[in-house]
Amino acid sequence: MATTGNKNINAKLVLLGDVGAGKSSLVLRFVKGQFVEFQESTIGAAFFSQTLAVNDATVKFEIWDTAGQERYHSLAPMYYRGAAAAIIVYDISNQASFERAKKWVQELQAQGNPNMVMALAGNKADLLDARKVPAEATKVYAEENGLFFMETSAKTAANVNDIFYEIAKRLPRVQPAPNPSGMVLMDRPGERTASSSCCA
């Protein structure tokens, strides 16, 4: 859950997605500004934190990076439980990873917190020549499912900070008073459609 105090927000964020989609690489790019070509697989889970200033507040992300293999699926709930946000990652050069991403979306919709901010990251966007998952169809899928969608590249850093920044802006602000219902704040009118179906 996102907790607030004096416009300082702590938000638990979980990364989910297929093996080798680039979950750890996205976090390490965001948290440490680093990229390694052969990032080792995540065993169990890893935890990171990083703070972002958005226009009206400071958001401290507490990030859970999980193991991708189906075999470890049973451990996932303990990481996404109580999360304010999730990034579901797939590899644009791998169709199966996109199918797996859709399963994660389903699971979070069924099990997760209904106010969770969900982002879909089509990672490895630098591998344009190897693209297997078309961006247009994904955009439609994301809109239908109330997801915020971006194609990212941990390698080139494209859209990496942006996706976390967008999530930070979408986190529910419980205080101060003007938003008692905890509605999602829309900073960009253009994306209202995508986000408004979030809780449907």
Binding site for other proteins (CB under 8 A): 19-20, 38-41, 43-49, 62, 64, 67-75, 77-78, 81, 96
Long-range pairs for 186-189: beta carbons < 8 A, 24 or more residues apart: 187/55
CA-CA-CA-CA dihedral for 151, 153, 159, 164, to nearest 10: 90
Quick one: 5 or 71, whose CB is closer to other proteins? 71
Least distance between other proteins and beta carbon 136 (Å): 26
Quick one: 99 or 187, whose CB is closer to other proteins? 99
Quick one: 80 or 148, whose CB is closer to other proteins? 80
Cα–Cα distance measured from residue 34 to residue 154, given in angstroms and rounded to the nearest whole number: 9
* Residue-wise burial string across 128-143, b where 16 or more C-beta atoms lie within 10 A, e elsewhere: eeebebeeeebbebbb
Least distance between other proteins and beta carbon 46 (Å): 6
Is residue 180 within 8 Å of 121, Cβ to Cβ? Answer: no
Least distance between other proteins and beta carbon 44 (Å): 4
Quick one: 75 or 199, whose CB is closer to other proteins? 75
Least distance between other proteins and beta carbon 50 (Å): 12
81: left (phi over 0), alpha (psi -120 to 50) or beta: beta
